[in-house]
Amino acid sequence: MDRLSHPQQTIQVLQEHRFVFQKKYGQNFLIDPHVLDKIIAAAGIESGDTVLEIGPGIGTMTQALAETAGHVVAVEIDRNLIPILQETLAGYSNVTILNEDILKLDVNRLVREYNGGKPIKVAANLPYYITTPIILGLFEQEVPLDNMTVMVQKEVADRMQAAPGSKDYGALSLAVQYYAEPYLAANVPPNCFLPRPKVGSAVVRLTRYQEPPVPAEHPAFLFRIIRAAFNQRRKTLQNALWNAAELTIPKERTAEALRRMRLSETVRGEALSLEQFARLSDLLFL
């Protein structure tokens, strides 16, 4: 089997199997070998690594991963792709193909089964419509991770790295930066995919922190505060927390906490850093 990163080979495989793209799965297959090399390099894949690939498609990235890593576990939701993967990856004895929904899969069990519970690396060309649930789900489940190197929509990559006060800064920025250090490895134009998406993409490496960069006594409550602050981002923080159905924190309590932090009573959530949100959540928790 020739490398699938060459467009002609990808088209041939799809035609032979009469494959029909499923919009519901957000399928856009990578057809640029240079981008593939950048993903492998950014992930730092080595011969002793076990790699979890989410959404292998027809096996384009899987082939490259298998040639570098010790073991690749490829999780694909579309059952129509399984026979294609079995064919394109037939020459790789270090690949395991699972027909599963990553959002329903017990990834911690998978890590125990395939890597003895030791940290894995994740590589993925993620469907844009479920990028955030997949990334945050892996972090929140406390899956043993070294890093996640993922292809995402460029707009999402910008949000992951955004700083307080910028237009891209929001709940996703804070959540990602609480769990990992984001690094933009490459920008990827639409012509690198089949079919072409309507927007640009980016490769981002998220290196998991051993410990969160800021202390928070109650992380779950911290993220409730963050979500409330950005669900109504044009409101002051006092009003946003008061109006949030899951919180309804009296404005007086928020005002007192802000005074103790030497912040204005009219401050909005978009102005607070992760460290300030953590401090605020500690002050407001009952």
Q: Are 151 and 202 within 8 A, CB to CB?
A: yes
Strands (E), the chain: 29-30, 50-54, 71-75, 95-98, 120-125, 145-153, 180-188, 193-194, 201-208
- pLDDT value at residue 1: 54
Confidence of residue 194 (pLDDT cuts 50, 70, 90): very high
Confidence of residue 2 (pLDDT cuts 50, 70, 90): low
pLDDT tens, 8-66?
899 999 999 999 998 888 899 999 999 999 999 999 999 999 999 999 999 999 999 99
Mean pLDDT score of the chain = 94
pLDDT tens, 127-166?
888 999 999 999 999 999 999 999 999 999 999 999 999 9
- pLDDT value at residue 127: 85
For the chain, the domains span 7-208, 219-284
The structure tokens listed for 177 are: 């930066």
218: left (phi over 0), alpha (psi -120 to 50) or beta: beta
Picking from 168, 249, 256, 222, the residue whose alpha carbon sits closest to that of residue 240 is 249
Task: Please tell me the distance from the alpha carbon of residue 130 to that of residue 25, in angstroms, as a whole number.
Answer: 9
- pLDDT value at residue 4: 85
Instruction: Report which residue type is found at 8.
Output: Q
pLDDT tens, 64-101?
999 999 999 999 999 999 999 999 999 999 999 999 99
- pLDDT value at residue 186: 96
Q: At residue 77, what are phi and psi to the nearest 5 degrees?
A: -80, -30
- Max Cα separation, the chain? 67
Task: Give the residue ranges of DSSP H helices in 125-218.
Answer: 131-140, 154-161, 171-179
pLDDT tens, 240-255?
999 998 898 999 999 9
Reduce the secondary structure of 29-45 to three states and give it as a string.
EECCHHHHHHHHHHHCC
List, as one string, the DSSP characters of 7-26: HHHHHHHHHHTT----GGGT
Residues 6+ away with beta carbon under 8 Å from 21 = 27, 195
CATH superfamily of 7-208: Vaccinia Virus protein VP39 (3.40.50.150)
Do the first three CATH levels of 7-208 and 219-284 match, i.e. the same topology?
no
Q: What CATH number should be reported for the domain whose range is 219-284?
A: 1.10.8.100
